[in-house]
């Protein structure tokens, strides 16, 4: 219910504070200042959104996600986390904001090879929370079971297949209970069955899953193949020739005659098989 | 290109490269120092086990190697030296010579070089590979400070390990050296030998030994971590970075040693 003001006027409904907001942002290639990876990025990612960002390989999607996760500072423009401009955030506040976001790397999850699967998931918990060993183990076990990784808990990343490694990357990002999850090409190199698991699991956590306290998680996916995400995503955008191109919802996606969009919805780039390929 | 320019160009380039490396190392040291102070008691559940495992790697696992070196050097150098001193009638100087050679110079340098060869080089490979495979980026994504997680445990471990290994090395070298001399019928009783050593040792030797060995550990850890971590590496660049780190560590340790010699001479 919206409360009336003392003058009796009902204030206009305010849009929900964006979890991530970018205003005319330019990003650097792998954080390098000299190279502009993409520019003119405007986006307003609201809580509970399901964004899918498409673009051919090498279009700067990974750099964009890394910037959204706070790993790199934008070269230009304004980046806001949960309504706060990161340029004005102190170190502690910036860290607190970043802890509310999780990043799942593509290409095998960039796991810590010296740790087991369970160790990879436990590391952020042990580092950030001075909780009891039992509580940490319970949390790790819950995540392992939710992601189907329990049988591989004691294996090191080198001993498991690519698809499982990717899933460990997801489990590790879930450990701290993020409110926003950024995923870089999560279906690359996965078979149909594995891809289906990912789509179902992401739909589940987007709607609110027990593993994250029942709270809906905001999802931002970057992919070079939009086919699997057509039914899942709520908001779509493209990175084309270093420029940000907002598309809109599913209806706009279906109606658009943008050639790159048709390409991303029709063919894959041979970098990985996905559902339907 | 004129003749002087041909020679001056590479000299200039090398000087600039040296200055850039020095600047990078100093900056990395200051960052590490800042992290060590600000996160002194943070995340102890993760950092303390890492320090213990690094101490095991750089200390306990090197005991057989250090034992072998200490016995060999004791037999080769100290034993012969004691025998020679006795032949010229200067056996009462044995303690002083021992302390100068083993305690002040040979022990710390030998331990540091063994640790550099066995562990320091491996640090560059570990960290360089981790950096090239994106593990460092993954740490940052989890809001884990890579310097806190990867560098601080290694610096602490190397400082403690080199100090402990040096003490062990000195004791074993002095003991094995005496055994060799004893086997050669040198008329020097164990009591006299120990008394000479005790007379020659001063409190400054203990203090400077601790300072010197810990400094060696810190320098080796900083240089190797800097070469492995501070710059973006591709997998094929890791071996070159390892070579660079070993050379720079040796040079830094020798320069540090010269500094300590000056301190000994002044005191």
Residue B142 to residue A127, Cβ atoms within 8 A:
yes
Residue B46 to residue A127, Cβ atoms within 8 A:
yes
Q: What is the pLDDT of residues A131-189, one digit of tens each?
A: 788 889 999 999 999 999 999 999 999 999 999 999 999 999 999 999 999 999 999 88
Q: What is the pLDDT of residues A75-129, one digit of tens each?
A: 999 999 999 999 999 989 999 999 999 999 988 889 999 999 999 999 999 999 8
For residue B177, is pLDDT > 60?
A: yes
Sheet containing A243-248, strands listed edge to edge, beginning at the edge strand earlier in sequence:
A84-85, A76-81, A20-29, A32-45, A243-248, A235-240, A50-54, A218-223, A180-184, A101-104
Domain boundaries, chain B: 56-266
pLDDT band at A214 (very low <50, low <70, confident <90, very high): confident
For residue A275, is pLDDT > 50?
A: no
Average pLDDT over residues B193-216: 90
Nearest to A127 among B138, B144, B232 (CB): B144
Sign of the alpha-carbon dihedral angle for A236, A238, A244, A247: negative
What residues contact residue B243 under an 8 Å CB cut-off, 6+ apart?
none
From CA A153, how far away is CA B128, in angstroms rounded? 27
The b-or-e profile of A139-160 (16+ CB within 10 A means b, else e) is bbeebbebbebeebbeebbeeb
From CA B231, how far away is CA B21, in angstroms rounded? 11
Q: Which of the residue ranges A220-234, B74-88, B143-157, B226-240 has the most confident prediction, judged by mean pLDDT? A: B143-157
Average pLDDT over residues A220-228: 92
Interface test with A, best of B141, B232, B233 (most A CBs within 10 A): B141
Note the pLDDT of residue A15. 59
Q: Which 28-47 residues of chain A touch chain B by CB within 8 A?
A: 30
At how many degrees (to 10) do helices A133-146 and A162-174 cross? 130
Nearest to B143 among A99, A130, A172 (CB): A99
Note the pLDDT of residue A30. 67
Of A2-11, A224-233, B165-174, the poorest mean pLDDT is in: A2-11
pLDDT band at B84 (very low <50, low <70, confident <90, very high): confident
Query: Which residues in chain B have Cβ-Cβ distances shorter than 8 Å to A172?
Result: 142
ipTM of the complex: 0.86
Burial of A267 (0-12, 13-18, 19+ CB in 10 A): exposed
Note the pLDDT of residue A4. 39
Q: What is the pLDDT of residues B13-71, one digit of tens each?
A: 989 998 999 999 999 999 999 999 999 888 888 999 999 999 999 999 999 999 999 99
Mean of per-residue pLDDT scores for chain B: 89
Note the pLDDT of residue B3. 66
Note the pLDDT of residue B1. 60
Name the percent of chain B lying above pLDDT 90: 58
From CA A49, how far away is CA A18, in angstroms rounded? 10
For residue B2, is pLDDT > 80?
A: no
Note the pLDDT of residue A33. 60
From CA B126, how far away is CA B227, in angstroms rounded? 11
Average pLDDT over residues B225-236: 86
Residue appearing with tokens 């789509």: A199
Query: What's the pTM value of the predicted model, to 2 decimals?
Result: 0.86
For residue A8, is pLDDT > 60?
A: no
């Amino acid at each position: 219910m919206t409360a009336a003001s003392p003058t009796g006027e009902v204030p206009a409904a305010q849009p929900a504070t964006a979890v991530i907001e970018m205003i005319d942002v330019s990003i650097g290639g792998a954080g390098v200042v000299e190279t502009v990876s993409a520019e003119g990025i405007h986006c307003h990612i609201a809580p509970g959104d399901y964004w899918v960002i498409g673009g051919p390989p090498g279009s700067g999607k990974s750099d964009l996600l890394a910037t959204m996760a706070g790993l790199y500072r934008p070269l230009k423009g304004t980046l806001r986390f949960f309504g706060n401009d990161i340029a004005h955030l102190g170190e502690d506040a910036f860290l607190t904001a970043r802890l509310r976001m999780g990043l799942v790397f593509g290409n095998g999850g960039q796991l810590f090879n010296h740790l087991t699967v369970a160790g990879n998931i436990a590391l952020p918990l042990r580092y950030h929370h001075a909780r009891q060993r039992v509580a940490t183990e319970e949390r790790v076990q819950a995540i392992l079971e939710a992601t189907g990784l329990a049988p591989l808990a004691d294996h090191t990343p080198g001993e498991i297949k690519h698809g499982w490694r990717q899933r460990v990357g997801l489990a590790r990002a879930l450990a701290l209970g993020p409110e926003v999850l950024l995923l870089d090409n999560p279906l690359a190199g996965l078979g149909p069955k594995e891809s289906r698991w990912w789509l179902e699991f992401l739909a589940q956590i987007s709607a609110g899953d027990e593993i994250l306290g029942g709270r809906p998680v905001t999802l931002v996916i970057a992919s070079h193949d939009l086919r699997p995400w057509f039914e899942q995503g709520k908001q779509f955008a493209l990175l084309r020739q270093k420029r940000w191109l907002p598309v809109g919802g599913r209806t706009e996606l279906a109606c658009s005659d943008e050639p790159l969009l048709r390409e991303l919805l029709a063919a894959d780039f041979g970098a990985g098989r996905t559902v339907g390929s | 290109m004129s003749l002087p320019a041909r020679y001056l160009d590479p000299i200039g380039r090398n000087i600039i490269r040296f200055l850039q490396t020095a600047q990078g190392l100093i900056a990395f040291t200051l960052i590490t120092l800042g992290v060590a102070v600000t996160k002194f008691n943070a995340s102890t559940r993760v950092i303390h086990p890492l320090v213990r495992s690094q101490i095991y790697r750089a200390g306990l696992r090197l005991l057989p190697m250090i034992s072998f070196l200490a016995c060999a050097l004791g037999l080769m150098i100290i034993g012969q030296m004691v025998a020679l001193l006795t032949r010229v009638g200067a056996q009462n100087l044995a303690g002083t010579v021992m302390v100068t050679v083993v305690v002040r110079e040979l022990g710390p340098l030998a331990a540091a070089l063994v640790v550099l060869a066995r562990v320091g080089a491996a640090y560059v490979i570990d960290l360089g590979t981790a950096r090239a495979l994106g593990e460092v980026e993954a740490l940052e994504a989890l809001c884990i400070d890579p310097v806190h997680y990867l560098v601080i445990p290694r610096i602490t471990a190397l400082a403690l390990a080199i100090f402990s290994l040096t003490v062990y090395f000195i004791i074993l070298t002095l003991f094995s050296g005496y055994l060799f001399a004893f086997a050669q019928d040198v008329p020097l009783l164990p009591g006299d030998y120990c008394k000479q050593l005790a007379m020659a040792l001063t409190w400054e030797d203990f203090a400077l030994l601790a300072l010197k060995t810990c400094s060696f550990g810190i320098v080796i850890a900083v240089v190797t971590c800097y070469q492995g971590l501070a710059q973006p590496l591709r997998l094929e660049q890791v071996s070159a970075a390892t070579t660079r780190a070993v050379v720079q560590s040796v040079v830094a340790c020798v320069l540090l040693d010269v500094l300590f010699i000056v301190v000994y001479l002044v005191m």
